[in-house]
Amino acid sequence: MSEKLDMNATGYKTNCLVCGSDLVYSTNSNKSECYYCKKVYESNVKCAKGHFICDNCHNLPASKLIKQFCINSQSEDPLVTALILMRNPQVKMHGPEHHFLVPAVLLSAYYNLKKDEEKKTEKIEESEKRAKNILGGFCGYYGDCGAAVGTGIFISLITGATPLSKHEWKLSNMMTAKSLFSIANVGGPRCCKRTAFLSIIQAIDFLSENFSIENMNKNVKCEFNSLNKECIRDSCPFYDRRR
């Protein structure tokens, strides 16, 4: 699945959590597959574009939602996957869930490209465990943004790096360094959406340079500036004036 998102959708918090379209209610129920967990339910409601989300996924905490969706997704585009997850109200404007979201969407896309479902599940579950060690506010209090660390987790997992590794150790640390430099170069204050996008794009470049994975999408516009009172607007590379 490589779904094109409606970049003008504005109702993602109250309408469809996938694309922002209006919800359509019918008098008769039909079998519908949940967009997140892929289970089939009887339902009277879908969005105008056909997306359905079951009550269980609608109420999942952020980490479980991220894990479940990234394991089930067949998308090879980590930025699209990130945007879909960010539209869900369980993923707040700012928060440590982004520390897991970044490696999860990258691992999902990477192993979808590799056609390796078993490793995808295994690595996403391990990334959740590692991301839990990155505290909220890491960016300001430790000088090490959790989104950047998430890209290091990603490279560590796909290379099998350990503290005793040589080349894999180098790649993992280089990945985090590149993400941190990109984040620092834009400047503060914090924005978990901006730093996540910057980190994912750096990881896409890193995959191209070191793993011969080419032509992954790097285009994204932020849909969330109205929720961020510290938004730096035109100074952000993802700022969308139309919003």
Neighbouring residues of 191: CB distance < 8 A, sequence distance ≥ 6: 94, 228, 230, 231, 232, 236
Find the distance separating the first CA and the last CA of the chain, reported in whole Å: 27
Contact, 148 vs 195, CB < 8 A?
yes
> What does the pLDDT look like over 30-46, one tens digit per residue?
899 988 888 899 888 88
> What does the pLDDT look like over 142-178, one tens digit per residue?
999 999 999 999 999 999 999 999 999 999 999 999 9
What pTM, to 2 d.p., does this model score? 0.85
